[in-house]
A and B are shown apart, each in its own frame.
Chain A
């Protein structure tokens, strides 16, 4: 773990802003946090104790390479034509336990835990996740280069989308 309060404050800010943008449905703000080459990845569980590790040869819950694939999800929601997305579930993300794990010249590695509560036509559920971020620091400010979401709930009740993670 890295002891760098100034950097930790920046990292905490971008992680908290992501949660806020998702809960507020500020899709443009949310997308803008991501690097154009970002990866948004929620692996599935290989078995009770092991996650799949190789996304190119294993099934993921979500594996989106490039910010464009995130834009697809927003596009679908905004068409108003997605059965599962009209009306949208309400969500609250509570994110904490943020740590700086490593820092290199251009990449900051950080992790956090999240509890996401959602409510909507398909009922209410609370899902818990561990987030692992790679943040690009090569330009002014930070951009999300990779977000890996380890959803500890193995069975999901109802449809879920990027804003439920």
Chain B
């Protein structure tokens, strides 16, 4: 598939001289169609990719259709509660099998020629089978749907792989698993995706959206207008409690940090100056009674952004978000965002969570819109061939190897830790993972 690309030295696009304090990435990784083509084959179609959340396929026959790279995929809840995913294409002539993004069906019937498949992927009906294929001995099973070799949920977050020979999901998630735990451990009833979503297209490369999701360095410039707008709102309206917005992380010098979580997963955090404004604060007593103090501190008092390689960001700040990133082409990225909350969350906290989401996270909101504008500018700038390198050197001199004490208190592993979310140690992990997959076809 990637034969013509094999002679190209994709490894040379990452200038990895950590000992000299240099880590740079060639800007053509964002713009080159050949890079993109190989990314689809080796990164997206070659390893674990986030698909959807279990709450989006609650019952037998519930399905959610998505993509892995260029491959359409449908995730289906089985009779026994298990989750399977299939290539979303009729075995006969490749028509999509689901008319909707999400839905429920006992049988998936191709709307083109009427072939039908059970939820476990068996071909159960071929229109005019006997006339077309002769005799009653015909074996329909050779037309069963192509099942993904691997589909697995990590505590509600479903991942799939088109490649069989990859390490187990838990191993692949590395330090990201502990960060996902910090979201899920907040409630014994689990998390649910809230109805409604927003999809938007960015004129930029998918890696820019992933990078931006854990870029602490832009917050005090790009989002200071969000903080000043909120301050103005609060003074004008005399707001209190959950109606107020946490602005301290944006404007102030607060404790913060950044982690390379291994296998390309990245995270940043910053201390809340006013944690009582977060919806989760209503569950403070339950958290203190049920979780170790180190974890409670992480959940209540630290805003957190996590990216799980290669295609999803999970945010737990004043509001909570699943941000799924879908590469369309080198210069187009589709992003779908969902709000997630605790099952059974009280009405006031849920409404506050949604309002904070809408204020900040959406392309029609007052912060994500500014992020998009900024990263679209970086995409334009990346076309300058005579200015070749993006720097990721910040804080390399001060990062520490392995997990710091805070990581240990939160129960997660890290390859490197940094005591400022402005630092860029985390991107070393991302681009080393990227380089390994692009050059050796390393499985992941």
Residues of A within 8 A of B (CB): 42-48, 52, 55-63, 66, 68-69, 71-73, 75-76, 79, 81-84, 121-123, 154-161, 164
Contacts and interface: CB of A to CB of B under 8 A. Distances in A.
B233 A155 contact: no
Contact of A57 (B195, B225, B334, B372): B195
B355 A155 contact: no
B366 A160 contact: no
A55 B103 CA distance: 22
Interface stretch (B145-153, B346-354, B381-389): B346-354
A155 B370 contact: no
B350 A155 contact: no
Nearest to B335: A155
Contact of A81 (B228, B347, B357): B228
Contacts of A46: 195-196
A45 B195 CA distance: 9
A77 to B, nearest CB: 10
A72 to B, nearest CB: 5
Contacts of B195: 46, 52, 57-59
B123 interface: no
B236 A159 contact: no
B228 A161 contact: no
20 contacts: A46-B195, A47-B103, A56-B347, A56-B354, A57-B347, A58-B354, A59-B197, A59-B339, A59-B357, A62-B362, A72-B229, A81-B228, A84-B370, A121-B373, A155-B200, A156-B198, A157-B200, A158-B200, A158-B372, A160-B369
B17 interface: no
Contact of B201 (A55, A76, A121, A155): A155
Given A59-B339, A76-B229, A83-B222, 20 more contacts: A44-B196, A46-B195, A48-B100, A58-B354, A59-B358, A61-B362, A63-B355, A79-B225, A81-B224, A82-B225, A83-B371, A122-B376, A156-B198, A157-B203, A158-B202, A158-B203, A159-B369, A159-B372, A160-B363, A160-B364
B194 A161 contact: no
Interface string B215-251: 0000000101110110011001100000000000000
B259 interface: no
B199 interface: yes
B323 to A, nearest CB: 13
**Which among A58, A59, A82 has the highest number of chain B CB atoms within 10 Å?**
A59
A151 to B, nearest CB: 9
Nearest to B371: A83
A134 B283 CA distance: 38
B102 interface: yes
Contacts of A157: 200-201, 203
Interface residues of B, number: 47
B369 A59 contact: no
B229 A156 contact: no
Contacts of B339: 59
A73 B196 contact: no
Given A61-B198, A160-B363, A72 B225 contact: no
A89 to B, nearest CB: 10
Nearest to A54: B195
Nearest to A122: B376
B197 A44 contact: yes
B374 interface: yes
Given A58-B194, A59-B198, A122-B373, A75 B229 contact: yes
B345 to A, nearest CB: 10
A76 B376 CA distance: 20
A158 B233 contact: no
Nearest to B338: A59
A49 B358 CA distance: 22
B101 interface: yes
A44 B195 CA distance: 9
B201 A158 contact: yes
B203 A42 contact: no
Contacts of A121: 373, 376
A164 B363 CA distance: 12
A72 B354 CA distance: 17
Contacts of B366: 72-73, 76, 82
Nearest to B239: A68
B100 A84 contact: no
Given A73-B366, A82-B225, A45 B201 contact: no
Contact of A60 (B202, B222, B358, B370): B358
A72 B236 CA distance: 10
A129 B334 CA distance: 21
A122 B204 CA distance: 11
Nearest to A81: B225
Contacts of A122: 203, 372-373, 376
A65 to B, nearest CB: 8
A43 B196 CA distance: 8
A86 B334 CA distance: 23
Given A57-B350, A71-B236, A79-B225, A156 B196 contact: no
B194 A59 contact: yes
Nearest to A73: B366
Contacts of B334: 155
Contact of A56 (B233, B350, B369, B377): B350
